[in-house]
């Protein structure tokens, strides 16, 4: 469900999967595990202070969001049931910089 941002008939009432996810535990390929969710400045600093893969991932996502913020704001459609691709708009500050919701995705071509 999380891997493809499930969006069935009930999503009209209850929202897509991404809209119902607040936090996720992320396992990395090298065995690290950490939690992500809304990321304010203090949370961002704690991710960086943890170091390792966690810091690398969170830093890269923030860099991506900062660099492409204007394109994300203007290029993402605002339709209710948009489920294709990654939800990069969730990385923006006005959406709580929510890493958990950003990684709930239905990558293009997975239909």
pLDDT tens for the 111 residues of the chain, in order: 555 555 556 555 556 767 777 899 989 988 999 999 999 999 999 999 999 999 999 999 999 999 999 999 998 777 666 656 678 888 999 999 999 988 876 555 444
pLDDT at 110: 46
Q: Which of 106, 102, 107 is nearest to 36 (CA)?
A: 102
Using CB atoms within 10 A of its CB, is residue 52 exposed (0-12), middle (13-18) or buried (19+)?
A: exposed
Instruction: Quote the CA–CA distance of 89 and 101 in Å, as a whole number.
Output: 9
Contact 9, 17 (CB under 8 A): no
Contact 37, 23 (CB under 8 A): yes
CA distances from 107 to 41, 45, 53, 62 (A): 28, 29, 23, 20
25 token code pair? 């535990």
Contact 74, 50 (CB under 8 A): no
- pTM of the shown model: 0.79
Contact 47, 28 (CB under 8 A): no
pLDDT at 51: 95
pLDDT at 111: 44
């Amino acid at each position: 469900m999380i891997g493809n941002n499930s969006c069935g008939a009930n999503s009209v009432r209850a929202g897509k999967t991404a809209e119902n996810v607040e936090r996720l535990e992320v396992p990395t390929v090298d065995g690290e595990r950490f939690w992500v969710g809304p990321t304010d400045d203090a949370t961002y600093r704690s991710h960086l202070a943890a170091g390792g893969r966690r810091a690398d991932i969170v830093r890269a996502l923030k860099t991506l969001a900062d660099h492409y913020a204007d394109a994300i704001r203007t290029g993402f459609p605002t339709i209710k049931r948009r489920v294709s691709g990654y939800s990069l708009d969730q990385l923006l500050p006005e959406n709580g910089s929510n890493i958990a919701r950003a990684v709930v995705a239905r990558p293009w071509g997975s239909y």
